[in-house]
């Protein structure tokens, strides 16, 4: 399939965590593929060569424009070099998606200090570092947009999420703060909060049998399972000029999960042990 849209023509994007942590499609991969389909040049940043090569292959097979940048978003030098690489390879930088995160489950008593530091570094400090080096380039280029990928755990309580929820809440707060700081530089900053998606990491962590998938789908008002593509379409909109007057927003992409009922239960069969 060749490029299908024009919504991101002229954009040069860095997507962090552009691979997926297993077979299938996570949000970084889906966002990268849709950005390329919509006409952007995409710098695929990831620490895992094999994972990001799969994303590159998908885009290349569709005739899209992308290239790989191997780097660690917790390292300042790597973030600076990624921003430079976008400028060198494509002549500008207009778009950043801070997508990388690692899951971690522990309540406050069980949360080890080393895990707290690691999770905050990968999930939050990384977005600060990437933005710190991308924003000056965007300013040089006349503006752009940043989309931070948070989670519904930032918007409502979930069990055993101490470090992860702290990082994801930080992404929401940074979005508002940066939207104010960068607005006069024509840089929009927005945030997406995905709900429980069917993605490689979910399979790795929760197994995701058919019963579990049905159960999770039953927890949101739409009664539908979300995928990385749902998040990616929201990211396309926020990064495109269609969203030119939208900055500082936090958009849940969650089948309505965060508005409340009918959590826990319109699929009783899926809940039976
Ligand atoms: N999957 C879900 O159900 C879900 C739900 C809510 C929010 N999210 C959020 O969506 C985002 C992506 O999640 P996912 O599950 O699709 O991702 P994933 O785990 O499938 O992929 C993450 C990618 O990031 C890369 N990565 C990890 N550490 C890195 C580092 N230090 N430097 C560079 N790259 C690194 C990995 O190699 C991997 O390719 C995260 O911010 C996550 O919190 C996901």
Which residues sit with their C-beta closer than 6 Å to ligand 1?
16-17, 19-21, 26-28, 46-48, 51, 72-74, 99-102, 122, 149, 151, 194, 196-197, 199-202, 228
Beta strand 187-194 pairing with 41-46: unpaired
Mutate to test the pocket of ligand 1, among 101, 129, 231, 251 (most ligand atoms within 8 A of CB): 101
pLDDT at 270: 42
Q: Max Cα separation, the chain?
A: 57
pLDDT at 264: 56
- Distance from the CA of 23 to the center of ligand 1, in angstroms? 13
pLDDT per residue as tens, the chain (273 positions) = 456 899 999 999 999 999 999 999 999 999 999 999 999 999 999 999 999 999 999 999 999 999 999 999 999 999 999 999 999 999 999 999 999 999 999 999 999 999 999 999 999 999 999 999 999 999 999 999 999 999 999 999 999 999 999 999 999 999 999 999 999 999 999 999 999 999 999 999 888 999 999 999 999 999 999 999 999 999 999 999 999 999 999 999 999 999 987 665 554 444 433
Question: Is the pTM of the predicted complex or chain greater than 0.85?
Answer: yes
pLDDT at 206: 84
pLDDT at 3: 63
- Return all residues near 140 (Cβ < 8 A) that are at least 6 apart: none
Ligand 1: residue whose CA is nearest its atom 30: 72
HEC per residue, the chain: CCCCCCCCCCCEEEEECCCCCCCCCCHHHHHHHHHHHCCCEEEEEECCHHHHHHHHHHHHHCCCEEEEEECCCCCHHHHHHHHHHHHHHHCCCCEEEECCCCCCCECCCCCCHHHHHHHHHHHHHHHHHHHHHHHHHHHHCCCEEEEEECCHHHCCCCCCEHHHHHHHHHHHHHHHHHHHHHHHHCEEEEEEEECCECCHHHHHHHCCCHHHHHHHHHCCCCCCCECHHHHHHHHHHHHCHHHCCCCCCEEEECCCHHHCCCCCCCCHHHHCC
Q: Which residues are catalytic?
A: 164
Domains of the chain with CATH codes? 12-254 (3.40.50.720)
Cβ pair 146, 134 in contact under 8 A = yes
**In Å, what is the CA distance from 199 to each residue of 44, 145, 194?**
19, 26, 11
- Distance from the CA of 197 to the center of ligand 1, in angstroms? 12
């Amino acid at each position: 399939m060749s490029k299908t849209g024009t919504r991101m023509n002229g954009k040069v994007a860095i997507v962090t965590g552009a691979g997926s942590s297993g077979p299938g499609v996570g949000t970084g991969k889906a966002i990268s593929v849709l950005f390329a389909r919509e006409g952007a040049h995409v710098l695929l940043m990831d620490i895992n060569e094999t994972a990001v090569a799969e994303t590159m292959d998908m885009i290349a097979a569709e005739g899209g424009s992308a290239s790989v940048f191997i780097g660690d978003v917790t390292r300042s030098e790597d973030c600076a070099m990624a921003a430079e690489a976008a400028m060198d390879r494509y002549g500008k930088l207009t778009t950043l998606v801070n997508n990388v995160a690692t899951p971690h489950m522990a309540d406050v008593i069980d949360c080890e200090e080393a895990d707290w530091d690691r999770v905050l570094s990968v999930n939050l400090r990384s977005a600060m570092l990437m933005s710190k080096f991308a924003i000056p380039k965007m300013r040089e280029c006349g503006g752009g947009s940043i989309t931070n990928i948070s989670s519904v755990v930032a918007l409502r309580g979930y069990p055993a999420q101490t470090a992860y929820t702290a990082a994801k809440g930080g992404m929401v707060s940074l979005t508002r703060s940066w939207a104010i700081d960068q607005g006069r530089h024509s840089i929009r900053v927005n945030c997406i909060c995905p709900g429980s998606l069917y993605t490689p990491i979910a399979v790795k962590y929760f197994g995701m049998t058919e019963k579990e998938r049905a159960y999770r789908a039953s927890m949101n008002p739409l009664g539908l399972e979300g995928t990385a593509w749902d998040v990616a379409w929201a990211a396309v909109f926020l990064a495109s000029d269609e969203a030119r007057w939208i900055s500082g927003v936090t958009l849940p992409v969650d089948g309505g999960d965060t508005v409340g009922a009918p959590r826990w239960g319109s699929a009783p069969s899926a809940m039976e042990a």
